[in-house]
Amino acid sequence: MHIRPRSDDDLRQLVEVLRRTHDQDGYPAHWPNDPASWLTPPGHLTAWTAWSSGTAVGHVGLAAPDRDAASLVTRLVVHPDHRGRGIADALLATAEAAAGTACAVPALRLDVTEETPGAWRLYERRGWRLTHRAPADWAKPDGTVPTMRWYEKRLW
Ligand SMILES: CC(C)(COP(=O)(O)OP(=O)(O)OC[C@H]1O[C@@H](n2cnc3c(N)ncnc32)[C@H](O)[C@@H]1OP(=O)(O)O)[C@@H](O)C(=O)NCCC(=O)NCCS
C-alpha cells in the first residue's frame, strides 16, 4: 500500500470506493448527485489517495471552509475490502503531517457521527481530543438527525 497526493485521474476509482462505502456503511448518508465533487468539498486544500496493487482503496482530504476556524480533515474513506490493515491510520498520519508542515496549520478538527465508533476510535487512538457533541446539520434518509462528535488535534 502506498499513499500519494490525489490527482484528478484518481477520481473515477475513488467514486467506486465511495459507492461501495455508501452501500455498505451509509457513508455518505445521501448519495451525492456529483460524487467526484463531493470528494472536493468547499475550502478544499489538498487530498491523498491510498493505492494497493494499482487500485485506489482509500482517500482523505483537508479543507479550510471557514477562515475563523481550524482546518478540517474530510472525506476519510477506505474500501470495505481493504479495511483493518491500517490504511485509514496511514492516511490520517499523512494528512496530519502535511497540515503541520506544508500547510502550516496549527490544529485540525473533524466531525464524525456518534454511530460510527470504528471511525472515532481511530481518531482517539491517534490523539484526537473530543471537544463537544452537537446535532448534525443534516438528516439521514429516515429523517433522524445524528449526533456528531467533534474532535481537534493540535499539530504544533
Ligand atoms: C473508518 C474507516 C475509514 C477505517 O478504515 P481502516 O483502513 O479499516 O482503518 P484502520 O485499518 O486504520 O483501523 C481499523 C481497525 O483495524 C485495526 N488494524 C489496523 N491495522 C491492522 C493490522 N495490520 N492488523 C490488524 N488490525 C489492524 C485497527 O487497530 C482498528 O481497530 P479498531 O476498529 O478496533 O479500532 C473505514 O471503516 C471506513 O471507510 N468507514 C466508512 C466511512 C467512514 O465512516 N469514514 C469516517 C467519516 S468521519
Contacts of 73 (CB under 8 A, 6+ apart): 60, 61, 62, 92, 95, 108, 109, 110
- 86 CB within 6 A, ligand 1: yes
Which pLDDT belongs to residue 85? 97
Entry pTM: 0.96
Mutate-to-test residue for ligand 1 from 122, 123, 148, 149, highest number of ligand atoms within 8 A of CB:
122
Distance 84 CA to ligand 1 centre (A): 5
Which of 88-92's residues contact partners 24+ apart within 8 Å by CB, and which partners?
Answer: 88/58, 88/60, 88/119, 88/122, 89/122, 89/125, 89/126, 90/1, 90/3, 90/50, 91/3, 91/48, 91/50, 91/58, 91/59, 91/60, 92/60, 92/122, 92/123, 92/126
Out of 31, 85, 116, mutate this one to test ligand 1's pocket (max ligand atoms within 8 Å of CB): namely 85
Domain boundaries of the chain, sorted by first residue:
2-109
CA of 17 to the centre of ligand 1 (A): 15
* Predicted confidence band of residue 105 (pLDDT cuts 50, 70, 90): confident
Q: pLDDT per residue over 6-57, tens digit each?
A: 999 999 999 999 999 999 999 999 999 999 999 999 999 999 999 999 999 9
Position 98 pLDDT exceeds 90: yes
Fold of 2-109: Aminopeptidase (3.40.630)
